[in-house]
């Protein structure tokens, strides 16, 4: 989620340099759409390792543009430009559209139902992205937060059978609508440090695996699933114990 400094009535208007900085942050976010285009080209050309390398770049942009936006105070400098909407557009491309297209073109869905299975996350995440309460007031994601890039990566890297991949895709699509809270690692009030720390380690492991595709170490890939298991387990435990 992108945000900037609050508006302070009576304060001096932002300088030209601050305007340039704010537009630069928006351009940085928008560059994710170009990355999505390059990833789509790689998918069409069956260069699937490159798909995930481009998606890793997009993920890095998404992880850093919010901090830059807050540092520059983009909402105060450019109050008429909706950076959050831009962020959502780019995120839908990089977290949803590109990974699902890659799975579809890579033959990771059972042939008779390929397009129907692909439609499930596309429609579910379109709904999820448009919910005004997709991020709760207590800083959680409502429903499965459309991490289809992660799902697609493991399906490809571990050569998950199409039937199993399809089952996970349909189940997670249904969870987009579920009244469940999932951790927002950087802002969650509980387990923030452990989630960020473990997430950083997981990110480095996955980054190494992506850059060694298609020969990524299988044992390392299976071991890296410990973090997604932690993420889901902690999210469900917080709700089961009413501690979220």
Select from 52, 3, 82 the least CA-distant residue to 211: 52
DSSP 3-state of 144: coil
Structure tokens at 196: 């960020």
Residue 235 lies in a domain: yes
SS3 6: coil
Does 38 reside within a domain? yes
pLDDT in tens, the chain (244 residues): 444 444 444 566 778 888 899 889 989 999 999 999 999 999 999 999 999 999 999 999 998 988 888 888 888 888 888 888 999 999 999 999 999 999 999 999 998 899 999 999 999 999 999 988 777 777 788 889 999 999 999 999 999 999 999 999 999 999 999 888 888 887 777 888 888 899 999 999 999 999 999 999 999 999 999 999 999 998 888 877 776 5
pTM: 0.87
- 9 assigned to some structural domain: no
* 1 in a structural domain: no
83: in domain: yes
In this prediction, residue 244 carries a pLDDT of 59
Structural domain boundaries, residue 71: 16-240
- Note whether residue 3 is domain-resident: no
Residue 117 lies in a domain: yes
Helices (H), the chain: 16-44, 48-72, 74-77, 83-91, 98-105, 114-130, 148-157, 162-175, 192-211, 218-224, 226-240
Joined together, the tokens standing for residue 47 give 């260069």
Structure letter (DSSP) for residue 244: -
Based on the structure, what is the number of domains in the chain? 1
The number of C-alpha atoms within 13 Å of 108 and in the hemisphere containing its C-beta is: 28
Q: Which residues, 6 or more positions from 216, have their beta carbon under 8 angstroms from its beta carbon?
A: 157, 208, 209, 210
Residue 5 within any structural domain of the chain: no
Predicted local distance difference test score (pLDDT) of residue 142? 86
**CB contact set of 75 (below 8 Å; sequence gap of 6+):** 3, 4, 5, 6, 7, 69, 83
- Which pLDDT does position 57 carry in this prediction? 96
């Amino acid at each position: 989620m992108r945000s900037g400094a609050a508006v302070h009535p009576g304060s001096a208007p932002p300088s030209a340099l601050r305007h340039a900085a704010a537009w630069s942050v928006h351009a940085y976010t928008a560059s994710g759409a170009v990355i999505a285009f390059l990833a789509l080209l790689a998918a069409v050309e069956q260069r699937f390792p490159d798909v995930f390398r481009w998606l890793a770049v997009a993920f890095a942009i998404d992880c850093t543009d919010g901090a830059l936006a807050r540092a520059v105070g983009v909402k105060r400098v450019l109050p008429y430009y909706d950076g959050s909407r831009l962020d959502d557009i780019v995120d839908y491309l990089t977290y949803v559209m590109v990974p699902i297209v890659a799975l579809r073109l890579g033959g990771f869905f059972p042939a008779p139902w390929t397009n129907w299975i692909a439609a499930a996350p596309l429609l579910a995440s379109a709904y999820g992205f448009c919910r005004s309460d997709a991020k709760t007031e207590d800083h959680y994601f409502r429903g499965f937060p459309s991490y289809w890039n992660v799902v697609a990566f493991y399906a490809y890297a571990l050569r998950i059978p199409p039937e199993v991949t399809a089952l996970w895709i349909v189940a997670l699509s249904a969870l987009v609508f579920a009244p469940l809270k999932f951790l927002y690692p950087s802002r969650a009030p509980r387990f923030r440090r452990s989630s960020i720390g473990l997430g950083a380690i997981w990110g480095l492991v996955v980054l190494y695996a992506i850059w060694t595709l298609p020969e990524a170490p299988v044992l390392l890939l299976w071991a890296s699933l410990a973090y997604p298991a932690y993420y889901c387990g902690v999210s469900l435990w917080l709700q089961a114990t009413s501690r979220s």
